Amino acid sequence: MPTITTSDGTEIFYKDWGTGQPIVFSHGWPLSADDWDSQMLFFLRQGYRVIAHDRRGHGRSAQVADGHDMDHYADDLAALTAHLDLHDAVHVGHSTGGGEVAHYIARHGESRVAKAVLISAVPPIMVQTEANPGGLPKSVFDGLQDQVAKNRSVFYRDLASTAFYGFNRPGVEAQEAIIENWWRQGMMGSIKAHYDGIVAFSQTDFTEDLKKITVPVLVMHGDDDQVVPYEDSGPLSAKLVQNGTLKTYAGFPHGMPTTQAETINADLLAFIRG
């Protein structure tokens, strides 16, 4: 399997297919590069070079004990882009991956970056604070950690079956294969990485990161996102970046790149070509 070794000795798995302008995909918690299957194949067939990695502790990357925070996530992504010598890259991040993309660009600069896309993404900050009164109480995320620690297999199955894809909404038919694939990806990773990652995605404040980004940014968010609530995320991020566009999807769930791949892929393509 293709891997790189970061400066702290962590092996990061990645996929790298095709030629042309690179599109780099950063996945959500607690998944892997496989969550981008629909996008990877679509953009490969459109003539792009497509790249996706498993975040440290996730998927096929090393299950290290430490470094499950946004600084390490961003530095790992920087190590990958440097190893592959990517230029003019479009970075696409879903959920936690959106935070990773924002922090990477702010922390490592825009010299290799052409555009960025934040899909159902966690920025600016998820947890409720004095500065972010619309966020979710810290107790919500403490509860997530508790469920991961007690029985993450059951928790992952329940989350994929309900809120993540909106399968708990009236008239929405649950797709068993999608649920099983989500569970498979989650269980491939490390419980320690997933436990720590909840703090990383919920408590990291990306406000200053977003303000530093000058490249064009497309913010895509469903208004029925039950995981990263719309009002405290997408619209705020689009305003904070210097060149942002918000695209809101009526009724779409958190996992819309999978369940609404045709729509999401078409809009991504239009933005990248625009």
Query: How many CB atoms within 10 Å of residue 29?
Result: 23
Distances (CA, A) of 94 to 23, 146, 150: 13, 24, 26
Is 32 part of the annotated catalytic residue set? no
Q: What mean pLDDT, rounded, does the chain reach? A: 98
> Which domain does 172 fall in, by range?
3-273
- What's the structural domain count of the chain? 1
In this model, does residue 32 exceed pLDDT 90?
yes
Residues 6+ apart with CB under 8 A from 91: 23, 24, 26, 101, 104, 105, 113, 115, 116, 117
Which CATH number is 163's domain given? 3.40.50.1820
The catalytic position among 95, 120, 190, 237 is 95
The pLDDT value recorded for residue 94 is: 99
pLDDT in tens, 213-265: 999 999 999 999 999 999 999 999 999 999 999 999 999 999 999 999 999 99
pLDDT in tens, 163-210: 999 999 999 999 999 999 999 999 999 999 999 999 999 999 999 999
Is 225 part of the annotated catalytic residue set? yes
Are the C-beta atoms of residues 152 and 245 closer than 8 Å to each other? no
The catalytic position among 161, 225, 233, 237 is 225
Residue 207 has, within 13 A of its CA and on its CB side, a CA count of 10
Is 120 part of the annotated catalytic residue set? no
